[in-house]
Amino acid sequence: MDLGIAGKTALVCASSKGLGRGCAEALAAAGVNLILNARGAEALDATAVEIHAAHGGISVAAVAADITTEEGREAVLEAAGDIDILVTNAGGPPPGMWSDWTRDDFIAALDANMLTPIALMKACLPGMIDRGWGRVVNITSQSVKAPIPVLGLSNSARAGLTGYVAGTARQVAKHGVTINNLLPGSHATDRRASLDRAIAERQGIPVEEATKQVWAEIPSGRYGTAEEFGATCAFMCSQHAGFMVGQNVLLDGGNVNATL
Ligand code: NAP
């Protein structure tokens, strides 16, 4: 399917690895010019080179910066220029226990997973509105639909972002700009591997055993892939998705047991 977005420019945050990289790869395959971002310059530059080599005819720039800081966002936005497609993403908060989190822990989670995407949208939406076209996809989590007990910081921060998007998406839609959220369930990335290591340590079992336990809870019986995730993201950024407004699209292999 031709996604109709060749020649557009996308900023994909936190994209040297994992789900962000999956989104960048799928947009590159659709002919979209990329600005990639992550903190670690080495992995980021290697990803930029690999994506550029795999997809001719597009430009790929890389800005090493912490997207959760004001300086980091300024550096990325300045390098990016006019952005047609914004994919927000950052590392997720650490797991823990509801009784242990301090105010500082909550502020850090809110900064990374709620206020950072909001700041990026505030920066990019006016240009998209002026040009009469734009796509925003926020990578959030299945924890928005069904809370994950050990990820209370994520449950809280992402719920706040979801509320902001629900209200804002409906105000910008008339300008040809859509904002939607993409909710990953368990996907095979470094983040998932570290969560599996934590389960294994807590239970004193091998990591492979911990992974099998998680798979047993997922109707698909496996983790999702970054490629599947990226393909959905690219569709949500496509011309075909122009009537999709303020939605929360869940990719979880059926893990959230709900009718709607
Ligand atoms: P990942 O494999 O650990 O990759 C994270 C990527 O983000 C890396 O490129 C990392 O590079 C970059 N990054 C992290 N913090 C950053 C920051 N402050 N500024 C700029 N770049 C940053 O993680 P993932 O599995 O793709 O997860 C992506 C998001 O989806 C996370 O918020 C996660 O909580 C959420 N999620 C994932 C799953 C899953 O199963 N994978 C499920 C639900 C939700 P650097 O470290 O070099 O910065």
Q: How far is the CA of 177 from the centre of ligand 1 (A)?
A: 25
Whether ligand 1 lies within 6 angstroms of the CB of 161 is answered as no
- Under a CB-based contact definition with an 8 Å cutoff, are residues 192 and 149 in contact? no
First to last CA, the chain: 28
In tens, the pLDDT along 161-207 reads 999 999 999 999 999 999 999 999 999 999 899 989 999 999 999 99
Domains of the chain in start order, with CATH, are 9-185+224-247 (3.40.50.720)
The two beta strands, 177-184 and 134-139, are: parallel
The whole-number pLDDT of residue 133 equals 98
Mutate which of 143, 161, 189, 227 to test ligand 1's pocket (most atoms within 8 Å of Cβ)? 189
This prediction has a pTM of 0.97
Q: Which residues pair with 35 in a beta bridge?
A: 11, 61
The whole-number pLDDT of residue 239 equals 98
Residues of the chain with pLDDT under 70: none
The whole-number pLDDT of residue 29 equals 98
b/e map 206-234, b = 16+ CB within 10 Å: eeeebbeebeeebeeeebbebebbbbbbb
Whether ligand 1 lies within 6 angstroms of the CB of 187 is answered as yes
The whole-number pLDDT of residue 153 equals 97
Q: How far is the CA of 216 from the centre of ligand 1 (A)?
A: 24
Secondary-structure breakdown of the chain: helix, strand, coil percentages, each rounded to the nearest 5: 50, 15, 35
The whole-number pLDDT of residue 56 equals 86
